[in-house]
Amino acid sequence: MLRIWQRKTQRDWKMELVPLLLLSLLLASIVSAEISPKVGVNYGQLGNNLPSPAKSVRLITKTLKAGRVKIYDADPKILTALKHTNLQVSIMVPNEIISNISSNQSFADQWVHSNVVPFYPATMIRYLLVGNEILSQYNINQTWFDLVPAMRRIKYSLKTHNIHKIKVGTTFAMDVLESSFPPSNGTFRSDISGSVMNPLLQFLNRTKSFFFLDVYPFFPWSSDPVNIKLDYALLKGGNQTYTDPGSGLTYTNLFDQMLDAVHFAMVKLGYENIRIWIAETGWPNGGDYDQIGANIYNAATYNRNVVKKLTAKPPVGTPARPGTVFPACIFALYNENQKTGPGTERHFGLLYPNGSHVFDIDLTGETPESDYKPLPAPLNNEQYKGKIWCVVAKGANRSEVASALTYACGQGNGTCDPIQPGRKCHRPDSVIWHASYAFSSYWAQFRKAGGSCYFNGLAVQTINDPSYGSCKFPSVTL
């Protein structure tokens, strides 16, 4: 039943567009510009070794052949470098000022005045995102409830500046859903459904904006690689399918399943026609020993397949939205060495910071697979089994290591007892050894509770036992 109803509303929506297109050339140009299937790239800057904005823009256009670019602020250097390019640009209001904007129209006006007006229209700013995944963070200072008021104020400011081509939205992670399986059971979390999602969807629907979604099949697959097949997560096609008992729709990949779960969650709140914009998708090309499937082979395979799908002509869409264009930006332009969290976070790049490809890719989707160089075989598609230690990274700053040592020793019960004077692991004058012991001990004790082997980049995982003599370093065993 649901399936028939769903298909029908899709068709009706597209048929409604036809007379509109005939009626208004202006509207026609706006609509067709918005639904261009070009794939772009997310240009994050959390690295201390990244090329200049001008060089980055050349890499984005010439090397990657991207059609769009999305940034996480409104960096004037980047927006200047993007002037007179063909790139459609998405900029972002930082999370920290959402509340200020929501309560103060002059504040919103000033933001637009200093971050949009100087660059528009020479820089083709087309999307303005108010905040990044704020519904996935704690509701500090009730910011969730300021989100829609802030979006309204920004939209109003754009209008008073006579800017009509910029869509206002905000980005969502998959965890805005409390249920995503089967896709037809997609449901928004109850803590945001009524109070935030209802007015938000109403705003997006009324302003003909998009639902900007960050969607990573890597995460559900890597947390359940037994039940989810890797090829299904990598959009490898093949013969694996899943039929949703609720909708009767048949899926051939995890990406479609995730998009349709969001589609069905919106349908449940009465919004079946809000277009989905893939704000981020990608696959890590590397990671830590305790992570699975993060390698160049999988990253190349996923990104090439997703680009092929998103640029297919005619558009393929998803089972619940057949034939629909999903505008998209791949995450990310570069491997960013200052991102925190597990190793995968620092390995989502299409390019290394020196500008060379991590793997061949063409975001127009036009290069045939056979033109690409062979890929290195994947070596970690199975979970690593064995012991892992956490030691000081090569080249780490000594005085920073000393502070991290103090921090690690201050966290637990006896984390650092063996490195006290007179004990087995004490080595006078060796901050690095002591820190390696403390990092291993800390990580072994707290990994299950979410502790990571990172320490601001001072620590790395190793599978070579750093123990010496009778001093045995604690390890994590997988």
Task: Please list the active-site residues.
Answer: 133, 280
Helices marked H in 161-295 — which ranges?
A: 190-192, 198-206, 218-223, 230-233, 254-268
Task: Specify the residue, 216 or 271, whose C-beta has the smaller distance to ligand NAG.
Answer: 271
Task: Specify the residue, 200 or 329, whose C-beta has the smaller distance to ligand NAG.
Answer: 200
Residues that bind ligand NAG (CB under 6 A): 96-97, 100, 104, 106-107, 110, 140-141, 178-179, 181, 185, 187, 202, 205, 238-239, 270-271, 352, 354, 356, 397, 399-400, 412-413
Cβ–Cβ < 8 Å for 316, 323:
yes
Tokens of 381: 């598609």
Report the C-alpha gap between 289 and 384 in whole angstroms: 7
Report the C-alpha gap between 285 and 358 in whole angstroms: 8
Tokens of 219: 């995460």
What DSSP letter does each residue of 32-71 carry, written as one string? HHHT---EEEEE----SSPPPHHHHHHIIIIIS--SEEEE
In 3D space, the residue among 385, 363, 361 whose CA is nearest the CA of residue 373 turns out to be 361
Task: Specify the residue, 238 or 323, whose C-beta has the smaller distance to ligand NAG.
Answer: 238
Residue nearest to ligand NAG (CB): 179
Tokens of 279: 């704000």
Closest approach, Cβ 109 to ligand NAG, in A, equals 8
Task: Specify the residue, 85 or 97, whose C-beta has the smaller distance to ligand NAG.
Answer: 97
Cβ–Cβ < 8 Å for 240, 229:
yes
Amino acid identity of 50? L
Report the C-alpha gap between 216 and 209 in whole angstroms: 22
Closest approach, Cβ 229 to ligand NAG, in A, equals 10
Q: Tell me, what DSSP letter sits at residue 240?
A: -
Closest approach, Cβ 463 to ligand NAG, in A, equals 21
Closest approach, Cβ 51 to ligand NAG, in A, equals 11
Task: Specify the residue, 46 or 269, whose C-beta has the smaller distance to ligand NAG.
Answer: 269
Report the C-alpha gap between 197 and 4 in whole angstroms: 26
Closest approach, Cβ 280 to ligand NAG, in A, equals 22
Report the C-alpha gap between 468 and 176 in whole angstroms: 48
Report the C-alpha gap between 98 and 76 in whole angstroms: 20
Q: Tell me, what DSSP letter sits at residue 139?
A: -
Closest approach, Cβ 471 to ligand NAG, in A, equals 22
Task: Specify the residue, 85 or 411, whose C-beta has the smaller distance to ligand NAG.
Answer: 411
